């Protein structure tokens, strides 16, 4: 019997764009110019993206997570002929994160859904992120942080999904077996395969039904969770 539900964050509890360019990063570029880093906007985006992609590959190869601080420090080492302080690197990535976050959209109905689910299940979040505070801030802003028994982030855990250990850590903290916790996410590899790989039942947000999964494991959005066969409950 399902006693807990774990949610991915990006693409599941909120809509977002993973792009590293389309949001616009003019304030971050201006910060660089004010600090004497002579770089064009196009070159800034190109180098920031290249550093991020290199760290993505490193993460995939090693199974470890990287931080926004690492992105900023590696970027500055790449584009600045003189050493830059850790404090400036922090200001740089925080500015970048603020601008990246402009593409995040809260999904109407999520707070009400979490309130209904929390009356019957223990809820939690297991998500990949390069900055944990970002997740906690948004959970509070959405109005659902009080419903989350646990929040497990890849940067705090050290390994991102689909690594088995991040799912097992969440289950240990919940004190339940894998078969008792349902996972809900939007990534086939990171969420669905990661969760089912440790024995958890899972739902994949897949409106187009493109993923090679059983039909009952696909939902159109997180708002459809209450109707899924795994829970055998319906909206009040």
- CB distance 89 to 72 below 8 Å: yes
Q: Do the beta carbons of residue 189 and residue 162 sit within 8 Å?
A: yes
CA 146, 150, 155 angle in degrees (round to 5)? Answer: 120
Tell me what pLDDT residue 94 has: 98
The pLDDT of residue 228: 84
Q: Which pLDDT score is estimated for 235?
A: 45
Which pair of structure tokens corresponds to residue 156? 């705090």
Tokens in use for 74? 């590696």
d(CA 212, CA 205): 13
pTM of the model: 0.93
Is the preceding peptide bond at 162 cis, omega within 30 degrees of 0? yes
Q: Delimit the domains of the chain by residue range.
A: 4-16+105-227, 26-103
pLDDT of residue 232: 62
Q: What is the pLDDT of residues 176-220, one digit of tens each?
A: 999 999 999 999 999 999 999 999 999 999 999 999 999 999 999
Q: Are 124 and 151 in contact (CB under 8 A)?
A: yes
Strands 218-219 and 4-7: unpaired
122-127 and 4-7 beta bridge pairing = parallel
Q: How do residues 116-158 score in pLDDT, each as one tens digit?
A: 999 999 999 999 999 999 999 999 999 999 999 999 999 999 9
- CATH entry 3.40.50.1000 includes domain 4-16+105-227: yes
pLDDT value for 236: 45
pLDDT digits (tens, 9 = 90+) for 36-92: 999 999 999 999 999 999 999 999 999 999 999 999 999 999 999 899 999 999 999
């Amino acid at each position: 019997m399902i006693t807990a539900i774990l949610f991915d964050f990006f693409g599941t509890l909120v809509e977002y764009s993973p792009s590293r360019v389309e949001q616009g990063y003019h304030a971050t570029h201006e910060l660089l110019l004010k600090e004497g880093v002579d770089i064009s906007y196009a070159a800034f985006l190109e180098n920031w993206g290249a550093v991020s992609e290199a760290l993505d590959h490193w993460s995939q190869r090693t199974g470890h997570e990287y931080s926004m601080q690492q992105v900023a420090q590696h970027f500055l080492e790449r584009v600045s002929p003189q050493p830059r302080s850790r404090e400036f690197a922090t200001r740089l990535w925080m500015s970048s994160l603020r601008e990246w976050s402009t593409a995040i959209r809260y999904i109407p109905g999520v707070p009400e859904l979490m309130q209904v689910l929390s009356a019957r299940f223990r809820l939690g979040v297991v998500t990949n992120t390069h900055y944990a505070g970002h997740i906690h801030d948004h959970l509070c802003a959405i109005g659902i942080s009080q419903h989350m028994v646990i929040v497990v982030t890849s940067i705090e855990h050290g390994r991102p999904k689909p690594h088995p250990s991040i799912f097992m850590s969440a289950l240990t903290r919940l004190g339940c077996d894998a078969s008792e916790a349902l996972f809900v996410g939007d990534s086939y590899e990171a969420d669905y395969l990661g969760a089912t790989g440790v024995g958890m039942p899972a739902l994949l947000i897949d409106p187009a039904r493109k993923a090679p999964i059983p039909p009952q494991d696909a939902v159109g959005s997180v708002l459809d969770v209450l109707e899924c066969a795994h829970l055998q409950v319906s909206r009040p």
